[in-house]
Structure 1
Amino acid sequence: MMEIVVAPDSLKGSMAASDAAAAIARGWSRVRPADSVRIFSMADGGEGTIDAIEAASLGRTARMPITVMGPDGRDVDTTWLLLDPKAPRRSVAVVELANTSGITLLDHPRPLDSHTYGFGQAISAALEYRPCELLLALGGSASTDGGHGALSALGASFVDAGGRNVGLGNAALARIAEIDVTNLRTIPAGTKVRILSDVMSPLLGPTGAAAAFGSQKGIEADGINDADHNLARLAAALQPSLPADPMQSGAGAAGGTGFAMIAWGASVTSGAAEIAAVTGLDAAIASADLVITGEGSYDPESENGKVAGHVRRLASAAQVPCALVAGSIPGAPAPGFFVRAVALSDLAGDVRSSMNDPERWLHVAGSLLAEEFAA
């Protein structure tokens, strides 16, 4: 009998991490029913982070409903998470950007005017409970606004040369002449704020928020430099009142929201590492015979703070083989990274077919891996 650990991320916009893990596990168990298969819902600060923390907290949580302004200005009914709600001074609040200002909330990309205002509204609501710790899950953003929207919702004022509010979105950053933080909400004494980041990129430059991730949010190739310059303008304008290093690791997370939150007073940590520790994945891997991880699309960025890369490193450190199941694999993983890499798009014939029925193809992938390892 083998002990298998299945720990994938969600397939963004297609299937939750818990459902993806269950489908892979069912596929494995169909071929090898006697094996022990343990399921872990993973996240890295992006979509599904609250779900993963809630699942690992054994009922000691409360979902807090809230209506916020979504990334395109429409209302979004969502929730944030409160851990240990009966012990306010020891409670932990978790606010997820993906479910307040995330790209899956858009009907179509709005690269230059989408924003993070709703994320700031949810943060403000969470602060009312004066938690001892506030976790900000950054990932899956719709915008590249540098967190300007979130700071606006927290009370900062961004005006142009004529004293008018510049508006929201990346394009608005080009008009910033002055920032007033007089009414910016401060972090309460006794509250620690940590960013759970899905990437460790800086805010600016060739590996920054615009250059590395802008195209994913709809910014055309000829607009990347302008978007980067707009972020630089925001960073320069913030320096007198909220000094922060735009080149710090994690500043580029969630379209640069990491930078705004760092400037506000938050520290940065790896979202994937935090979720792995909370769920007990680290310990489970140590006794496993095989680890299976996965995500929607495995590419070079997957090794830069994403779930698949982190789980692979945990398995490697424990000297346990690790297999990958991903919706698509645009480029082959580095030699030796995984004992086997399975792309659902290859199994289904193309990306669209795999996305139309991900549960089926995850089940097939689990069965395929079981057959290969049985042999």
Structure 2
Amino acid sequence: MRIVISPGAFNRTSRSLCAADSLARDWASVQPLDEPPVAPTFTSSILDVVARTVPGATFHDVPGVSGPDGRPVTGRWLALPDGSAVVDLAQVVGLSLMLEPDALGASTRGLGQVIASALDAGATSLTIALSGSASTDGGAGALSALGLRLLDETGEPLVDGGGALARLVFADMTDLRPAPLGGVTLLLDVDNPLLGLHGAANALSPRTGASPADAARLEYGLSRFAGVLGGTPDAPGAGAGGGAAYGFMVAWQARTFPGPAYVARLVDPTSAHHRPGRRTSVAGALVAA
């Protein structure tokens, strides 16, 4: 018999991959003739899953990047033998890294810093897993770390956090680092749009501790962000990663791919493939609300 062991996330108590390994050992002890492949869900550490299933994959640590609340953490990305890199938002901006909830102030800046490290090392393409974000900033922090300038009406840069987007007036893309030539693929766990009742702020930010008032402010900020950047905020999945999917879809023409299908394909290469989502258009170098 072939058994698939795929536990969900265990928050701060146990990593999903460790739980899966433990269950596999226990199963083998009572059913030694069965084949129990370990297939953690997409919400577990995607870096560990890829490292386990892709021969020659190597980890690269990035000390001192910004965690979701601004405290320094050690980021990590995975280099694959084909020259591509895999980055996991949750590893550096995950909810488990917050000492206490801060739905308005949490930022994805650390994600951008880890991505910059992979690009500096020569990554030819990127796969970015967007799950478990503590931040609802539309990817503004990550893109700012990559050179995007977000300005208020006086021309001053915004502070980090989704709450600050309510003051956004200009976005200057002049110094934004280009995407790698091989492109960017976003692994998504939800298909929510950026805005509206089912968007990142109203439907997803309560997981980060957002109150109804916080969600309303985040929704307004994300709507300003979308008004400035353009693109397609109602695209399925644009709200993933606290809206970070939208930011990368617009700024880097990133494609989307279902995270669970990606994990399934790694564990079983014969599983059905899914085509990446359509590319979106890039906003201009300087746009205003």
Please report the TM-score for the alignment, with normalisation by the length of structure 1: 0.68
Cα root mean square deviation, aligned: 1.8
Quick check: 1:53–1:279 contact (8 Å CA) kept in 2? no
Cα distance in 1 for residues equivalent to 2:117 and 2:167: 29
Quick check: 1:40–1:281 contact (8 Å CA) kept in 2? no
Cα distance in 2 for residues equivalent to 1:182 and 1:33: 60
Cα distance in 1 for residues equivalent to 2:83 and 2:232: 30
Residue correspondence of structure 1 range 87-236 to structure 2 within 5 A = 90-188=82-180, 190-236=181-227
1:245 to 2:237 alignment? no
Task: Please list every run of at least 4 consecutive aligned residues from structure 1 whose deviation after the TM superposition is greater than 4 angstroms.
Answer: none
- 2:34 paired residue number: 36
- 1:77 paired residue number: 74
Report SS of the residue matched to 1:71: coil
- Which shows bigger deviation, 147-156 or 273-282? 273-282
Quick check: 2:7–2:19 contact (8 Å CA) kept in 1? yes
Cα distance in 2 for residues equivalent to 1:20 and 1:50: 16
- 2:268 paired residue number: 280
- 1:7 paired residue number: 6
Report SS of the residue matched to 1:254: coil
Report SS of the residue matched to 1:262: helix
Structure 1 unaligned runs (5+)? 85-89, 286-375
Report SS of the residue matched to 1:253: coil
Quick check: 2:135–2:162 contact (8 Å CA) kept in 1? yes
- 2:283 paired residue number: none
Cα distance in 2 for residues equivalent to 1:201 and 1:145: 15
Letter in 2 for 1:65: D
**Shift, 1:128, TM fit:** 1.8
Cα distance in 1 for residues equivalent to 2:243 and 2:109: 13
- 1:51 paired residue number: 48
Q: 1:183 to 1:40 in 2, by over 3 A?
A: same
Count matched residues: 270
Q: 1:16 to 1:37 in 2, by over 3 A?
A: farther
**Shift, 1:191, TM fit:** 1.9
**Shift, 1:204, TM fit:** 0.5
**Shift, 1:187, TM fit:** 1.3
Higher share of residues assigned helix: 1
Q: 1:20 to 1:155 in 2, by over 3 A?
A: same
Cα distance in 2 for residues equivalent to 1:280 and 1:258: 26
